[in-house]
Structure 1
Amino acid sequence: MTSTLIVIGHGMVGHRLVDTLRALDRTRRWRVIVLGEEGEPAYDRVRLSAYLGCRSRARLSLASREFLTDPRIEVRPGVAAVHVDRRARTVRTADGDVIGYDALVLATGSRPFVPPVPGRDLGNCFVQRTLDDADALRAAVRPGRPAVVVGGGLLGLEAAQGVQLLGMRPHLVEAAPHLMPAQLDAEAAHVLRDGAARLGMGLHCGTTVASVDAGADGTVRSVTLGDGTVLDAELVVFAAGVRPRDDLSIDPALRLGDRGGFLTDALCRTADDRIWAVGECAALLGRCHGLVAPGYRMAESVARQLTGHPTEPPGDMDTSTELKLLGVHVATFGSTSGEAGTAAEMTFREGTSRYAKVFLRPDTGTLLGGILAGETGSRADLAALVGRPPTPDLERVLFPDPPLP
């Protein structure tokens, strides 16, 4: 007998769940209805900055022709869910349809956080979360003119790089003392800062935006910082982080985590045994994860549960990163937070162009993880060493070749 699974949200994590379920559901137990708020199927949201340059939505698409034509899968782009009735086990959509379910997965993702500063609603203020956001931003770009990006984390750096590739002169504002505070320490961030300086990007760390100021036409003309600095700006991008989208009307309401997100157990199950939550909207054991890799692990775990395959909890989440921003390679691998702050540390430097820090278990001396900045060794090679004592030639592994001139 066929059962109905509804997945609310067709982002990267929701798509991974349904695609994995397709492969595992050999008995064809499930009919799947995917409700996507955006007007097209899942795409690679991580590459939005690249989309600013390539202008091809098709190149970012994650949904293959085989996926979209699978008779077991019904994707409804542009159809948002507006209410879940847990007692009746139904979902009502924005177009008035009421759909019954046997199982429900919440994959609603997150929304951009915009600081509550005066002027944030002026013309030419943007977020960068969807393809439509990127199109609107690109249409407003004026090459050669100044712009301000609010947020110096991963989202902000990618937004600043995208704006610069389109010809504008960005300033980057970060409240923390240095860039990428969630991933890098101050010395690694200094290597990144040097890269920004080489590209002519203005950096303003340790301060906030006090106001976005209008010109005579009602659009942005400047940004005033908390330290009193006034930056000329004809465009502002808010990229100061995200918040879980947990505001879907659900009756009776599901419990939320202390910092938002639908609260789940270790297997991504909510208090309702027919409802799971995955990705950025899930507070897994009370904690939300803002990266796609943890979301994929949640999605695969739930797909296995729904198809009766042996399942392990997602467990410790992979929060490692690797990317090239502002002309600088930065990466993390393994654990970079130590064990309750007691990990031993070893640092390696080569001028101001290359930096590495590794964390070791104080009792066994085995490698826990590390931070890399500049032209360093392969993150994958170093990740393979986690859990073992560092090799005698660790410095050569970290800095295998001379730095680029």
Structure 2
Amino acid sequence: MTTRTLVVAGHGMVGHRLAGEILENDREGRWRVVVLGEEPRPAYDRVALSSLLGGATPDDLTLAGPGAPDDGRLLLRPGTTMTGADRPTRTVTCHDGTEIGYDALVLATGSRPFVPPAPGHDLPGCFVYRTVEDIAAIRAAAVPGREAVVVGGGLLGLEAANGLRLLGMRPHVVERAPWLMAQQIDEGGGRVLARAIERLGVGVHCSSALHAVGAGTDGRAGRVELADGTVLDAALVVFAAGVRPRDELAAPLGLERGERGGFLVDQWCRTADEHIWAIGECAAVRGRCHGLVAPGFRMAETVARQLTGGAPEPFTGADTSAKLKLLGVEVAGFGDAHARSPGAIEYVRDDRRAGTYAKVVLAADGRTLLGGVLAGDTRAYPALRALTARELPASPDELLAGAAGEA
């Protein structure tokens, strides 16, 4: 039996999952897996990155399980960047000049942080929030008692703000959208979240665009100027304003990109080249990128089944439901949280005294649950999420009373 070579470009969480799925399901030993990791360390739990600001170590985040370095079918090459490939000969080229032949190539290059191109964005004291090394640099630059600014009010930005608070700093969060966590929750939920974290000493500036980062007398970042003229002191600035797919290999490989970037692939995560796939944040599945790890895992499983002879399922989309605890505040969004379905009906229970907010979204028939938002109290999340796309067993008022902890 001839052993074939799979090259995986990228050793993040999704690339790691793919390697593990291949080694676990390739019972006949048909594949040798070569993983090229740009970072100097093996794959780690990037979702738990903020724990490094709370006392965890990089070793605590290292991913284990299938695909561990002691498996003889696996070759890990940390600190190695893929720079190109010759498709006719199926050969990958690395930054150090080495070449690796492949029978299958999977691009799992992930994404890079988006840094708004405002004046001063590259001053010393400005950081992104993506890698272990980024977190170490932020930790080293933190000045207890001083103010800091986080640009971005999504999940990552709020985690960064909490980390800075744990380091003794006084963070501000700047968000372009009208409310925090705008992709996951609605305005009412965002209001509850903002009020709760403001009580913890975190400044919240929504509907605010970054205008410039100004230097202090030492030449480092010293202040942040917003488009409305507001000026915030900032001993350091953290950019957590979203990501962009790492698709720079598209041109040298002659592969098509999606309209908003990412390697264009079909529902099986295949590019136009039958020997090349793309998964994770760098993959534009039918033109759309997914910036969460769970969809990336599903893509990895889809490709692994194709390569190991299993019964693959196409990647048809992502469940963006989420239950989170941010700076001690519980929030959740599920299904059609923003009531975008035609004819959708919203039922809201807003208890400002208790600091809780609950909303369910129903279909036009008034009976089928499409989604919802919870903030301040998420105990009803498991039950409500399980009812999504089903007919309600009780009235919206009864459901929302339960969501608010009163049923």
> What's the TM-score, normalizing by structure 2?
0.95
- Give the equivalent residue in structure 1 for 2:80: 79
Contact 2:348 2:400 in 1 (8 A): no
Sort the Cα spacing of 1:194 and 1:263 in 2 relative to 1 into closer, same or farther, 3 A: same
Shift of 1:400: 3.0
Does residue 286 (structure 1) correspond to residue 299 (structure 2)? The answer is no
Sort the Cα spacing of 1:60 and 1:106 in 2 relative to 1 into closer, same or farther, 3 A: same
- Give the equivalent residue in structure 2 for 1:383: 385
- SS in structure 2 opposite 1:67? coil
> What's the TM-score, normalizing by structure 1?
0.96
Shift of 1:320: 1.2
Can you list the C-alpha shifts for 1:93-152, whole angstroms capped at 9, x where unaligned?
112110000001000000000000011111110001000000011000010111011011
Shift of 1:397: 3.6
Does residue 394 (structure 1) correspond to residue 399 (structure 2)? The answer is yes
- SS in structure 1 opposite 2:51? helix
Sort the Cα spacing of 1:396 and 1:195 in 2 relative to 1 into closer, same or farther, 3 A: same
Distance in 2 (CA, whole Å) between partners of 1:389 and 1:350 is 26
Shift of 1:364: 7.0
Sort the Cα spacing of 1:85 and 1:378 in 2 relative to 1 into closer, same or farther, 3 A: farther
Sort the Cα spacing of 1:20 and 1:66 in 2 relative to 1 into closer, same or farther, 3 A: closer
Q: Which runs of 4+ in 1 moved over 6 A?
A: none
Distance in 1 (CA, whole Å) between partners of 2:104 and 2:381 is 39
Contact 2:15 2:108 in 1 (8 A): yes
Shift of 1:2: 0.8
Q: Which runs of 5+ in 1 are unaligned?
A: none
- Give the equivalent residue in structure 1 for 2:12: 11
- SS in structure 2 opposite 1:384? helix
Distance in 1 (CA, whole Å) between partners of 2:274 and 2:351 is 54
Contact 1:145 1:233 in 2 (8 A): yes
Distance in 2 (CA, whole Å) between partners of 1:6 and 1:228 is 50
Can you list the C-alpha shifts for 1:145-171, whole angstroms capped at 9, x where unaligned?
110110111111111111111110001
* Correspondences of 1:295-314 after superposition (within 5 Å): 295-314=296-315
Shift of 1:182: 1.1
Shift of 1:64: 4.0
Q: Which runs of 5+ in 2 are unaligned?
A: none
* Aligned residue pair count: 402
Distance in 1 (CA, whole Å) between partners of 2:71 and 2:281 is 27
- Give the equivalent residue in structure 2 for 1:35: 36
Counterpart residue type for residue 367 of structure 2: G
- Give the equivalent residue in structure 1 for 2:216: 215
- Give the equivalent residue in structure 2 for 1:63: 64
Deviates more, 1:272-281 or 1:319-328: 319-328
Sort the Cα spacing of 1:401 and 1:365 in 2 relative to 1 into closer, same or farther, 3 A: closer
Contact 2:10 2:110 in 1 (8 A): yes
- Give the equivalent residue in structure 2 for 1:335: 336
Counterpart residue type for residue 315 of structure 1: T
- Give the equivalent residue in structure 1 for 2:272: 271
Does residue 368 (structure 1) correspond to residue 374 (structure 2)? The answer is no
Sort the Cα spacing of 1:339 and 1:142 in 2 relative to 1 into closer, same or farther, 3 A: closer
- Give the equivalent residue in structure 2 for 1:197: 198
Deviates more, 1:384-393 or 1:29-38: 384-393
Shift of 1:234: 0.6
Contact 2:20 2:65 in 1 (8 A): no
**What fraction of aligned residue pairs are identical, expressed as a percent?**
57
Counterpart residue type for residue 403 of structure 2: L
Counterpart residue type for residue 355 of structure 1: Y
